[in-house]
């Protein structure tokens, strides 16, 4: 099903596509290939806006597809094939989510759709946001009978380039209209290590054990339990905004204790960024105020600033090769 999703001040009209499968129903717009709603047994569990204009002013990347490179790049530059690649600094001296004119604020082309899936495609020209090569990128949202949302990313480029995509949905399994309940949810992460950041949210290069720290989620605990602990990585970011290793499948389980609603995260990516919406402050669907910590992002990705840490898994795809990655959210 498709319907109008409003019109931008430029006159461009957005479309909202609704798909269904099992107990799930999802709404995705062609503006940013953005996940607008995800209903589980009729309860919408992702934060969002009522129409396209909310997303056009969306500083928090609610539900957005992020690329070519998710997260941060130190000093907005890196080396590739002995060349220095210069990006635009849009967060202090650093580059965040690939910079201005992000994929989240572009119209994607509908490529294919059916009752349970929708696929969008975007062409990114050579030099777009500073990245080399002409890239053709597609994102496919699928709902299957096993109550799973599957997001698949496929891309090919004319030159060696960075491909490191993610979805920036903010989850609240109690329902997006209950922001006060978000941090009561429990998170289980079997990750053994996380990456501490500096004051600019850039990984220091350390890979630190979670043992004995507030970052130990190997046993499920409420997000609120240690978020205000006297621990420097939490102080620097105002809560959790850190990359954890993906150690096994599922790599995370989020549960709402009140409803019993649970979501398992499965990915082929080497990392997952846990972000507790530390600086969110927007008016969302139905006029609901989403203050800080009213949702949690589980962004599957390569480690932030990996392009400047050659010892870590690298998000580089060779010219002509096909990038393919899948993340699943199973309820």
- pLDDT tens digit sequence for 259-281: 999 999 999 999 999 999 999 99
Secondary structure of residue 65 in the 3-state scheme: strand
Tell which residue, 111, 172, 100, 166, has the closest CA to residue 136. Answer: 111
The pLDDT of residue 324 is 98
The pLDDT of residue 102 is 94
What average pLDDT does the chain have? 97
- pLDDT tens digit sequence for 45-75: 999 999 999 999 877 999 999 999 999 999 9
Average pLDDT over residues 3-8: 98
The pLDDT of residue 58 is 75
Q: Is the pLDDT of residue 229 over 90?
A: yes
The pLDDT of residue 59 is 77
Q: Is the pLDDT of residue 77 over 90?
A: yes
Q: What residues contact 293, with CB distance under 8 A and at least 6 apart?
A: 182, 183, 223, 227, 239, 276, 277, 278, 280
The pLDDT of residue 33 is 98
By DSSP bridging, strand 241-245 and strand 193-195 are antiparallel
The pLDDT of residue 21 is 96
The pLDDT of residue 309 is 97
- pLDDT tens digit sequence for 85-102: 999 999 999 999 999 999
Catalytic positions: 168, 299
Question: 21 forms bridges with which residues in the sheet?
Answer: 24
Binning pLDDT at 50, 70 and 90, where does residue 145 land? confident
């Amino acid at each position: 099903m498709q319907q109008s999703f409003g019109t931008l001040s430029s006159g461009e009209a957005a479309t909202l596509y609704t798909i269904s499968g099992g107990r799930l129903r999802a709404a995705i717009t062609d503006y940013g290939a953005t996940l607008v709603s995800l209903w589980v047994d009729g309860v919408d569990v992702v934060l969002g806006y009522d129409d396209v204009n909310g997303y056009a002013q969306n500083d928090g990347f609610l539900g957005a597809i992020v690329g070519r490179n998710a997260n941060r790049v130190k000093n907005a530059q890196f080396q590739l094939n002995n060349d220095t690649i210069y990006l635009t600094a849009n967060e202090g001296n650093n580059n965040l989510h690939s910079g201005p004119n992000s994929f989240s604020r572009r119209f994607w082309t509908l490529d294919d759709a059916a009752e349970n899936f929708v696929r969008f495609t975007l062409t990114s020209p050579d030099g777009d946001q500073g990245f080399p090569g002409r890239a053709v990128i597609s994102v496919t949202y699928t709902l299957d009978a096993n109550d799973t949302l599957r997001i698949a990313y496929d891309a090919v480029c004319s030159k060696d380039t960075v491909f490191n995509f993610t979805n920036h949905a903010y989850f609240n399994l109690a329902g997006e209209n209950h922001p006060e309940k978000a941090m009561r949810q429990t998170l289980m992460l079997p990750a053994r290590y996380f990456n501490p950041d500096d004051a600019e949210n850039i990984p220091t290069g350390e890979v630190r054990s979670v043992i004995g720290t507030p970052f130990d989620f190997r046993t499920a605990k409420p997000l609120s339990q240690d978020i205000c602990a006297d621990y420097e990585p939490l102080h620097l970011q105002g809560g959790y905004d850190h990359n954890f290793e993906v150690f096994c499948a599922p790599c995370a389980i989020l549960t709402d204790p009140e409803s019993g609603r649970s979501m398992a995260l499965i990915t082929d990516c080497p990392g997952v960024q846990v972000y507790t919406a530390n600086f969110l402050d927007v008016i969302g669907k139905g006029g609901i105020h989403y203050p800080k910590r009213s949702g949690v992002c589980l962004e599957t990705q390569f480690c932030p600033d990996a392009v400047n840490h050659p010892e870590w898994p690298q998000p580089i795809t060779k010219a002509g090769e096909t990038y393919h990655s899948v993340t699943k959210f199973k309820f």
